[in-house]
Amino acid sequence: MLSYIIPFIVLILVVVFIHEYGHYYFARRYGVGVTDFSIGFGKEIFGWNDKSGTRWKICWIPLGGYVKFFGDRNVFSQADQKKLLAKYNEVDRQKLFVLKPLYQRALIVFGGPLANFLLALVIFFSIYTFVGKDFTPAMIAEVQKDSPAMVGGLKQNDVILEIDGNKVESIMDVSKFIMMSTDNLIDFKVKRSYDELILKIKPDTILGEDNLGNKINKRIVGIKLSAYNNEINHVKLGPAQAVFHAAHEVYYVTTSSLKYLGAMVFGKADTSQLGGPIRIAKISGQVAEFGLLAFVSMMAYISISLGLINLFPIPMLDGGHLMFYAFEKILGRPLSQKTQEGFFRIGMFLLLSLMFFTTFNDLKDLGLFN
């Protein structure tokens, strides 16, 4: 159990700290007072005060964090400005979040997700620079009899160039692109001798195991791969190339995640793949056993997920507040307190429903429900 808990706590601490620091950075940049910077919720385990008056603390429940601004009940409360003006002197008013210009408030809110994307970018950049990136072309070594690949026309010795328009730069990309596909047919662009062909393959879905031994619904086409000419091409990249490929990976994970979630909403993708804290804890422990590189890579993907989810236009998330600011920009005034409270109730319902669903999937994954 400890082998799962410790990596999970480390993962959450880093990803959440970076997220909250994004809010903190822009808040301090625009002169907003920050009274609390908390990693975790509940009772404080330990903490300290810095010279600007911020209380930095670690709390018992390590499933998130928050930055509390001067004069606010919570991070993004919409307090009555007239009451605020009467309550604080001129110096203190300069530190109030709700009195800042709209663009500054929006940047402070957006700073959290932005920091998560930047963390992933830095991790991928570091891996590609100091460890390297695989560029081994993917060649089909075997097409299984009567498989979707055989029916669709794939043949032995075909070199896979693209899958659903995504360039296959490495043999490692093939299974990833197949798993993330959501359409009934997958487009394979292959090189056969001197010709380039586009073939449509209808994958089968089977109950299998991922690389960590966890049961998942896998999309398969029935091929075995090998390195082209049996040569592994693993290259350490220069700074410019590393930035390009790191940015591309962040972009791909973001867009494919949105596409996959959209497919889930319309019933075209497997909702059992949605997991919560229990599954993340389990997988982080399993990944940590493969070494620091695998664990740090997972941290990058979790960081992207956290940043992306927080941008959804759901009240209580950063995206919900950005939605309110968009209304404020369009209407020329903030939404009424009553309207915002209505949105927050909807947001609370959606988040609790998502938590219930992911927890159910986690418990089912552990074998408690069959």
Dump the DSSP string for 240-285. Answer: HHHHHHHHHHHHHHHHHHHHHHHHHHTT-S-GGG---HHHHHHHHH
User: How far apart are the C-alpha atoms of 322 and 23, rounded to whole Å?
Assistant: 13
Q: What is the pLDDT of residues 127-151, one digit of tens each?
A: 999 999 989 899 999 999 999 999 9
Q: What is the pLDDT at residue 129?
A: 96
Catalytic residue among 20, 142, 209, 249: 20
| Residues above pLDDT 90, as percent of the chain | 42
Confidence of residue 62 (pLDDT cuts 50, 70, 90): confident
Q: What is the pLDDT at residue 350?
A: 76
- Average pLDDT estimate for 246-272: 80
Q: What is the pLDDT at residue 75?
A: 40
Confidence of residue 366 (pLDDT cuts 50, 70, 90): very low
Task: Tell me the three state secondary structure of residue 68.
Answer: strand
Whether the predicted pLDDT of 367 surpasses 60: no
Q: Are 234 and 133 in contact (CB under 8 A)?
A: yes
Which residues, including other chains, have CB under 8 Å from residue 145's CB and lie 6 or more apart?
A: none
Q: Are 260 and 180 in contact (CB under 8 A)?
A: yes
Confidence of residue 74 (pLDDT cuts 50, 70, 90): very low
Clarify whether 20 is annotated catalytic.
Answer: yes
H-helix segments, 73-216: 81-87, 90-93, 102-126, 148-152, 173-180
- Average pLDDT estimate for 223-236: 85
More confident residue, 76 or 163: 163
Q: How many CB atoms lie within 10 A of CB 103?
A: 11
Tokens for 295, please give them: 């664990």
Give the β-pairing of 234-235 and 186-192: unpaired
Whether the predicted pLDDT of 76 surpasses 50: no
Alpha-carbon 160 to chain mean position: 28
- Average pLDDT estimate for 322-341: 84
Confidence of residue 370 (pLDDT cuts 50, 70, 90): very low
Highest mean pLDDT among 95-104, 202-211, 330-339: 95-104
Q: Which residues pair with 235 in a beta bridge?
A: 133
CA angle 366, 367, 368 (to 5 degrees): 95
Tokens for 183, please give them: 């359409």
Which residues, including other chains, have CB under 8 Å from residue 53's CB and lie 6 or more apart?
A: 33, 35
User: How far apart are the C-alpha atoms of 33 and 27, rounded to whole Å?
Assistant: 7
pTM of the model: 0.85
Q: What is the pLDDT at residue 77?
A: 45
Q: Which burial class, exposed, middle or buried, applies to 192 when counting CB atoms under 10 A from its CB (0-12, 13-18, 19+)?
A: middle
Confidence of residue 93 (pLDDT cuts 50, 70, 90): confident
User: How far apart are the C-alpha atoms of 16 and 301, rounded to whole Å?
Assistant: 13
**What one-character DSSP code corresponds to residue 141?**
E
Q: How many helices (H) and strands (E) does the chain have?
A: 11, 12
Which residues, including other chains, have CB under 8 Å from residue 274's CB and lie 6 or more apart?
A: 264, 357, 358, 361
- Average pLDDT estimate for 99-117: 94
- Average pLDDT estimate for 34-63: 91
User: How far apart are the C-alpha atoms of 150 and 154, rounded to whole Å?
Assistant: 6
Checking phi first, is residue 276 left (phi over 0); if not, alpha (psi -120 to 50) or beta?
Answer: beta
Q: How far apart are the first and last CA of the chain?
A: 22
User: How far apart are the C-alpha atoms of 35 and 182, rounded to whole Å?
Assistant: 45
Whether the predicted pLDDT of 121 surpasses 50: yes
Q: What is the pLDDT at residue 110?
A: 96
Q: What is the pLDDT at residue 27?
A: 95
Confidence of residue 82 (pLDDT cuts 50, 70, 90): low
Domain boundaries, the chain: 2-130+303-365, 133-235
**What one-character DSSP code corresponds to residue 130?**
I
Confidence of residue 230 (pLDDT cuts 50, 70, 90): confident
- Superfamily name with CATH number, domain 133-235: PDZ domain (2.30.42.10)
CA angle 235, 218, 182 (to 5 degrees): 85
Confidence of residue 334 (pLDDT cuts 50, 70, 90): confident
